[in-house]
Structure formats: structure tokens, C-alpha cells
Amino acid sequence: MENIKLFGMPAEKGRWLLIPLSAIVLLCLGTVYSWSIFRKPLEKLLSINATESLLPFTVLLVLFAILMPITGFCINRFGTRIVTALGGVIMGLGYISSSIDGNLQTLTFTYGVIAGIGVGITYGVPIAVIAKWFPDKKGVAVGLTVIGFGLSPLITAPLAKSLIDSYGVRQTFIILGVVFTAIIVLISTVLKAPPAQWQPAGWTPASLANNTSTNTQESIFQNPAFYGLWLCYTIGTFAGLAAIGISSPLAQEIVKLDAATAASSVSLFAIFNALGRLFFGWFTDRFSPKLAAIVSFTMVLVASLIMLKTGEGAVMSYLLAFSLFYFSFGGWLAIAPTTTLILFSSADYAKNYGIVFTAYGAGALGGTLLAGRIRDIFGSYTVFFYPTAALAILGIILAVFMLKRSFSDSILSQV
């Protein structure tokens, strides 16, 4: 084990280079979080309403969540490099085929289904690789990795806006598809997991020895912690994914920002999305999944209450509320995988987190569809923040009671 090398250096040092490379892969995949930039041009081009323009985004998120558990099994059979490259190619084809001159149904299939399959296949691989290379710093390492997905709109939102203004929305899909495919396939060639039983020098997995001896013998479905985590994850993604889908059009319709400023705000929110992943990765490691969930839901509640009072010209209220939404949502992309590592066997991490990740799909489906329907029925997105406030309160209750019982043994070992 001492002679293992990565990038020509000892694995202890070389493993750190895998984090930025994995983050770049997730940054490409995370362009889905810039979907709000595409919505207005597509609504005009295809003559569709707010609910319909969210449909391709919603389908992609659901397919993304469904494919995650399957990917866990594929990694063990085909290896990380092949799965990553395959997913990158499929995602690229989805973007490129979205340039076809069709209708909403065509776009939903090309972007929602094909690109969604590619994102779902690829997403879990970099996280699984990093989780195995960093058993000693799981929260921070995973948090740094998933920053790429959350930070993506900081780069891709203004990039997409610029490309759409210059070349049109269809040509933009082609450019992004080609570039993303090339980047992901290139990085896939160096993305590999450590040998079995590898661990950092001088690290003694004491908590692992205490806790996972029983977890490795049982299915994830036999552990009540799974159900507490799944419900909280669903609520955590409900408001966050809806906020991501409506941030740009909401800014234009309610706060009356122009399209360029609204697009710039999406880039700002991406920073909070990324910071939320890093902060909550550390916070979950340092304290407990229960406390992390409570803090996250409290932020959603505060943001919802602010948006219920936000109107034309209330730029600071809008920026504050959506920064909280993005920060909290980004946090769940670190809380959930870190908690999965804490509670269940790291050897089965890819499969286990894939199952947990189905909560992401449930939150995506509920949040984005409800937001679109509320806009179409009431003529404003404001009403949507009543259910997000109610769910935040429910999430706090679930965290206090369900997570207290579910996580008690694991929390004791982490504090």
C-alpha cells in the first residue's frame, strides 16, 4: 500500500488532485442548474407557459435521481472510468440533440430524458471515488467535490446567456454538448478508486469499527435511519430545486429586474450553493446530521417568509432569500452523502447513496411542478412560498424527532 502513486506522487498527496478534477466533472453536469436562463427564450421560441418550460428540467432531475442507484451497481461491474465516459457522452448527445427544431415533447425527450440519463450515470462516480480516497476527511472532501455541481451556474449561467444572445438557444445546446463531452471523457481517464482496504497512513478508523459492523450485515432498508434521511432530503431538495428553476423568471416578474441582471443573480446564488456544500459537509462531520438538517430547514423557513413580503424593487430581499435557498439546498448535497458515509458501509457507498438520492428526484418532481402550476394559476410565484415555509417547519420536526431516534448511535460516535 505504501507504494501506491497517483499522478506520479504518493497517493497521500496525489489523491488531492482528484478533488478538483472531480469537481470539474460535476461543474459540467451542474449546468442543469442554469436552466432558468433557458426558460424565457424557450417559452418565446416554443410558445409554451411556465409549467411547460419547467418540464424538461423536471424530467432531467427525476431521471438523474432514478439512475443514481443503478450507477452504483455499474461502477462495481464496469469500473469508474468507463461509467464516467459513457455518462459524459450520453449527456453531451442529449444537449446536442436538444438543438433539433422540434416542440416541447421533443425537447423534454432530448434534454430531460437523454441528458438526464447521462447526468444520472455520471454524477455519483466522482463522489464515490473521492469518498473512498478520503475516509479520514469524508465530509470536507465530499463537500469540496460537490462544490463543482453547485458552483456551475456561476460560470455556465452567464456563459449560456452570452451564447444564447450571440447564437440562439439551439446553437447554444450544441456548443455546450460538445465542450462538456470532451471535458468529461478526458477526465474519466484518470478517475479511479483506490485499491480495496486502502487507507491513509496513520489513520485509525475507530468510529468505523464501532458502527459499521452491524451496518454491513443489513440492508439499507432495514435501518430506520434511511427513512429519516430520505424524508428530510426530499424536503430539503423540494424548495431548493424549485428556487433554482424559477430564480431568473421570478426576478424579472416580481422584482422587475432585467434579463441580464436576473442572469447575473443566478451566478451569485451559485456561490452560495457551493459554499453550502462545503459548510454543511464540515458541519455534519463536526456535529451531527440532525443539527445540520435543523439549521438547513431554518434557513428555508426564513427565506420563505422574506419572499412572501418581497415585491417590485425589493432587490436586497430577493437576493437574501434566494441566497439562503441556494445555501440550504447546496448543504443537502453534502449532508446526505456525508450522512450515508457515517451510517452505512463505505464499501457499498455508491449503491447506498444512489438509493438515498431517489429523495432528490421526489423533491425535484414536487417542487418544480408545484412552482410552475402556482405561477400559471395565480399569475405569480409568491404563493409558492407558503408550502415551502410549511415544509421547512415539518422538516425541523422530522429532524428533531425522527433523526434523533434514527441517528442516536452514530451521532454519539461523531461528537
Q: How far apart are CA 341 and CA 51, in angstroms?
A: 36
Residue pLDDT, tens place only, 78-104: 889 999 999 999 999 999 999 998 899
**CA nearest neighbour of 111 among 174, 168, 159, 51:** 174
Highest mean pLDDT among 208-222, 242-256, 290-304: 290-304
Q: How far apart are CA 315 and CA 306, in angstroms?
A: 12
Which one of 1.10.1660.10, 1.20.1250.20, 1.20.1260.10, 3.40.605.10 gives the CATH number of domain 10-200+209-414?
1.20.1250.20
Percent of the chain whose predicted confidence (pLDDT) is above 90: 40
pTM above 0.85, yes or no: no
Q: Could you tell me the residue ranges of all domains in the chain?
A: 10-200+209-414
pLDDT of residue 182: 97
pLDDT of 211 > 70? The answer is no
pLDDT of residue 414: 39
pLDDT of 215 > 60? The answer is no
Residue pLDDT, tens place only, 312-358: 989 999 999 999 999 999 899 889 988 887 777 766 777 788 889 88
Residue pLDDT, tens place only, 57-68: 889 988 888 887
Q: Which residues, other chains included, contact 353 with Cβ-Cβ below 8 Å and sequence gap of 6+?
A: 68, 72, 124, 127, 128, 336, 337, 340
Q: What's the rounded mean pLDDT across residues 210-232?
A: 69
Percent of the chain whose predicted confidence (pLDDT) is above 70: 92
Residue pLDDT, tens place only, 101-152: 889 999 999 999 999 999 999 988 998 899 888 888 877 888 788 888 878 8
pLDDT of residue 40: 84
